[in-house]
Structure 1
Amino acid sequence: MSHWKKLSVLAVAAVAAVSMTACGPNDSKGESGALELLTDDVPGSLRAAADKAKETETVRADVVTSGSTADSELQMTLDFRDSLNFDAVGEALGEPVALRLVDSVMYTENSAEDRELYGGKRWTKIDLSSAPAGDTGMDQMLQESNPSQQIEALLELEGVTVVGEDTVDGTRTVQYTVTTTPEKLAEAQPEGSVDSSDLPPAEDTLDVTEVTIDIWIDEEYLLRRFRSDLGTAGVTTVDYYDYNEPAQIEAPPAAEVADLEDIFADLGKDFEDAMKELEDLPGGS
């Protein structure tokens, strides 16, 4: 896989991961009568779910993005303690992918045939808190994401309705839905989340003019499923399980890691040297 294809795969997988890091749940066993309350009191139920989500420390999630040119499937373990860390394995752009985010540094595992491109290293890394990664807004999205952020946003949107009762992986839930515009969804983000002015409009980058958000809340006000439908830009569905189970997410050994920033800096220097040699040739400018 080339350096550029690798970055594309990393970007698709990372975006899929980031798109759901703002909506983590907590564990529950359920209480009788809660489904009726979930149906009758939409604002109160969403507030309770948002408050419950803030208690999340760790969770596992299956993330599926489909219906676009960037289909992906990831199985993730997320740790919301301190800064967000995660471990993800799956497939993006038809390629197997393994990612780890540890202290704002993204690690991606190299395939056996790709390792010769990176000095035999099993992993490559890029620091999302530094340029050029930081300039993309990715680091800000990761650092400022909150487990209750997506639910908090729904509280600010008009038109949230109850679809009805549903079962998610054997758990009884109530499904809620709302359709809005990318602009209104950005405006609804809670204070302290990503500043929408720092990000390009979705209708410009993805040709999206309408967004439908669905969430499934169980009898303990716990988020069990989150779905974002961007029309032709794709649908992302996240299912949560193994709430607050022990999770240990660590950076790979330093000896097994190549730094992508160093690699591309070297490529840039090689390009500059090649251009200088061309200029020094007879007739060069």
Structure 2
Amino acid sequence: MLRDKNGLRVGALGIAGVLACTSLVACGSDTKKDPGARSAESSGAPKSPGASEDGTSAVRSASDKTTEAGSARMVMRTQVSSQGKTVSVDGQGVLDLKSGTSAMSLTAEGEKIEQRVVDQVLYQKLPPKAQKDSGGKPWIKVDLKKLGTQNGSNPQVSDPAANTAFAKNIMDKDVSKVGTEKIGDANTTHYKVKVDVSKLQGGSELKKMVGPTLPMELWIDDEGRIRRQQIDMTMTVPKGQGADSATQEKATSRTVIEFSDFGTKVDAQPPAAAETTDMTDKIAQQQGKKA
């Protein structure tokens, strides 16, 4: 698993709401403003139990309504803090919400990384200094289906399309309406919820790392689609340089994803096989060592 220049492990934080770049690239510190910061329009006060019940229905249906839109443009930021250091990954691109096909440009430590997901296979074109980990070839490949088969599920590598399904696994009693906000050109309703980790793919392993629930915030537009999703985690990860370190410490992360331009065209093709190194087994082995 790769690290940032300060030795901070970022791989363990790539679960379903966190793009695969956090487990496959090296990242540096970044103090830019979080795109998930609330606007001044937010009311901040939880609503009545009746409003909460309506919100539960809206949140649960948001995943399907977002997927029904077919495709979207996506902007994301992941920030991870541990050992007094912060790393970040920014990305933008297009996503087919039905098939999971995506094409994104990621930025980490000032480097640009091209990422594609085609037929549930993830490809990343790494910067030259990182290509020694891929045998000198420019692209790495991770078969998400095979990885799931080998490990039951892998909390380190994730399909960018999977994040919208989190909304289906909320705790009904922990839904509150925050207020209304403008996200881009869309009017949205802002909700705070908690996700039942046990209901997620690989939930039993993930629960050991993050606990029984995850706090999540959703901004849902007038058509019931997710416009912004924010997931905050406190995670237990091995301390120090060694991947097998028995010493544990806490790491926190925040992932914010925004959707816009629903129905946009998505065109992503796999790179040439001769330019690609398959990293699926290596990542599976690394995950097995930590289990």
Same fold (TM over 0.5): yes
**C-alpha distance in structure 1 between counterparts of 2:113 and 2:223, whole Å:** 34
Residue equivalent to 1:158 = 173
Shift in Å, 1:123: 1.4
**Structure 1 residue 196 displacement after superposition:** 1.7
Task: Name the counterpart of 2:221.
Answer: 218
Deviation at 1:44, TM superposition (A): 3.8
Aligned residue in 2 for 1:267: none
1:29: which partner in 2? none
Distance 1:86 1:175 in 2: 26
After superposition, residues 51-90 of structure 1 pair within 5 angstroms as 51-68=64-81, 69-82=86-99, 84-90=100-106
Q: Match of 2:233?
A: 230
Tell me by how many angstroms 1:101 deviates: 1.9
Secondary structure of the 2:65 match is helix
DSSP-derived class of the 2:267 partner: coil
Higher strand content, 1 or 2: 2
- Percent identity between the aligned chains? 23
CA distance in 2, matches of 1:141, 1:120: 22
Distance 1:11 1:89, change over 3 A: farther
How far the C-alpha of 1:224 sits from its partner, in A, is 0.6
* Shift of residue 160, structure 1, vs aligned partner: 0.7
Deviation at 1:131, TM superposition (A): 5.6
- Written as runs of structure 1 = structure 2, the 5 A alignment for 1:45-194 is 45-68=58-81, 69-82=86-99, 84-92=100-108, 95-115=111-131, 121-130=137-146, 134-135=150-151, 137-138=153-154, 148-154=164-170, 156-178=171-193, 180=194, 185-187=196-198, 189=199, 194=201
SS of the residue corresponding to residue 166 of structure 2 reads: helix
User: Per-residue displacement from partner, 1:71-118 (whole Å, max 9, x unpaired)?
Assistant: 211113222334x22222222466532222222322121323555775
SS at match of 1:41: helix
| 2:268 maps to 1:257 | no
CA drift at 1:263: 9.1
The alignment's TM-score, normalised by the length of structure 2, stands at 0.63
Distance 1:159 1:12 in 2: 24
Query: Normalising by the residue count of structure 1, what TM-score does the alignment of the two structures yield?
Result: 0.64
Higher-helix-fraction structure: 1
Query: AA paired with 1:237?
Result: V
Contact 1:175 1:215 in 2 (8 A): yes
Q: Cα RMSD (Å) of the superposition?
A: 4.0
Equivalent residues of 2:101, 2:268 under 8 A apart = yes
Deviations 1:23-53 (A, max 9, x none): xxxxxxxxxxxxxx98993234334434412
Alignment deviations for residues 131-150 of structure 1 (CA, whole Å, 9 cap, x no partner): 69842723998579757522
The runs of 4+ residues in structure 1 deviating greater than 4 Å are: 3-6, 8-15, 37-40, 113-120, 139-148, 261-264
The code of the aligned residue for 1:235 comes to R
CA distance in 2, matches of 1:70, 1:209: 25
Structure 1 pair 144/136, CA: closer, same or farther in 2 (3 Å)? farther
Offset, 1:214: 0.9
Kindly indicate whether residue 213 of structure 2 is the aligned counterpart of residue 196 of structure 1: no
1:141–1:194 Cα contact (<8 Å) kept: no
- Check 1:151–1:118 CA distance in 2 against 1; reply closer, same or farther (3 A cut): closer
**Structure 1: distance between partners of 2:282 and 2:163:** 34
Unaligned runs of 5+ in 1: 20-36, 265-285
Relative distance call for 1:100 and 1:143 in structure 2 (3 A) is: closer
Report the structure number with the largest CA radius of gyration.
1
Describe the SS at the equivalent of 2:173. coil
